């Protein structure tokens, strides 16, 4: 049943084959995010993608290779989307944060399965995508981002009480956790608004100016020219 060599004869029998494979991968990832990888069989993935199990094996060989494809073809490009535009040498810290937050919301709007998959299969202990996903984290960029924040602190532009290396962790927590746990929050409070615009406004406002920030921000704009540099 497994077809290790993906003979082109077989591929050309379906047209367009790569679209069908991509559609199956999308159906698979949505199902894996919803049910959890450990609870999802190849037969269920095939059914979700409206193909036979044999086709799943034909395109992805084994279940492990399917998980490789999820990370390499779907998750890793998202990491690039978020991090590639970050210029850790020349960017202004606050603008870098706004950019990262905006792109994370773009990505989760396009890929609504991402927050659940992130919670369940990457950060959760025993998550089945953790090792694969960690290999694609742009470590240099993340470290450079922390250094950029630290330089912003030394110039007096960034709150000196923050830990530069924890800022990305905080962004990730604020953007991803409410989306990953939306079901629970709606049960606790059915009136809770978790649409993108409300969540993005809230997260950006908190990251930029904090709870005390409304009046303080207005004041600092108003008195910007007389502000001390301390």
Interactions with a copy of itself, residue window 41-100 (CB under 8 A):
93-94, 97
Say which residues have a Cβ less than 8 Å from residue 166's Cβ, sequence separation at least 6. none
Q: How far is the CB of 166 from a copy of itself (least distance, A)?
A: 5
The answer to whether 113 touches 61, Cβ cutoff 8 Å, is: no
Which C-beta is closer to a copy of itself: that of 15 or that of 229? 229
Which C-beta is closer to a copy of itself: that of 51 or that of 175? 175
**Please, where are the H alpha helices in the chain?**
8-12, 17-35, 42-48, 53-60, 63-69, 76-83, 93-110, 114-117, 130-134, 139-154, 167-180, 182-188, 196-209, 213-222
Considering only residues 18, 21, 124, 129, which one is a binding residue for a copy of itself as defined by CB under 8 A? 124
Which C-beta is closer to a copy of itself: that of 64 or that of 157? 157
The answer to whether 84 touches 77, Cβ cutoff 8 Å, is: no
Say which residues have a Cβ less than 8 Å from residue 148's Cβ, sequence separation at least 6. 88, 89, 91, 93, 96
Which C-beta is closer to a copy of itself: that of 58 or that of 144? 144
119 is an interface residue for a copy of itself by CB under 8 A: yes
Tokens 């910007």 locate to 224
40 is an interface residue for a copy of itself by CB under 8 A: no
108 is an interface residue for a copy of itself by CB under 8 A: no
Binding mask 169-208 for a copy of itself (x = CB under 8 A): xx-xxx--xx-xx-xxx-xxx-xxxx---xx-xxxxxxxx
Q: Is 91 helix (H, G, I), strand (E, B) or coil?
A: coil
Footprint on residues 127-166 left by a copy of itself (CB under 8 A): 130, 134, 137, 139, 142-143, 146, 149, 153, 156-163, 165-166
Q: How far is the CB of 19 from a copy of itself (least distance, A)?
A: 30
């Amino acid at each position: 049943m497994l077809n290790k060599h993906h003979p082109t004869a077989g591929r050309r029998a379906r047209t367009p084959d790569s679209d069908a494979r991509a559609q199956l991968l999308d159906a698979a990832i949505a199902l894996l995010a919803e049910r959890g990888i450990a609870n999802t069989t190849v037969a269920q993935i095939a059914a979700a993608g409206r193909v036979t199990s044999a086709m799943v094996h034909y395109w992805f060989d084994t279940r492990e290779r399917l998980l490789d494809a999820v990370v390499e073809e779907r998750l890793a490009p998202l990491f690039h989307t978020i991090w590639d535009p970050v210029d850790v040498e020349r960017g202004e810290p606050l603008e870098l944060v706004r950019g990262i937050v905006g792109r994370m919301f773009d990505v989760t709007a396009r890929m609504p399965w991402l927050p659940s998959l992130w919670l369940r299969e990457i950060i959760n202990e025993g998550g089945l995508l953790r090792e694969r996903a960690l290999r694609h984290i742009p470590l240099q960029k993340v470290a450079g981002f922390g250094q950029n924040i630290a330089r912003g602190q030394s110039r007096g532009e960034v709150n000196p009480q923050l830990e530069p290396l924890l800022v990305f962790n905080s962004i990730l927590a604020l953007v991803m956790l409410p989306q990953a746990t939306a079901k629970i929050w709606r049960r606790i409070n059915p009136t809770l608004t978790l649409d993108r615009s409300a969540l993005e406004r809230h997260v950006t406002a908190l990251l930029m100016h904090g709870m005390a920030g409304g009046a303080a921000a207005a004041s600092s704009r108003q008195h910007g020219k007389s502000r001390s540099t301390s």
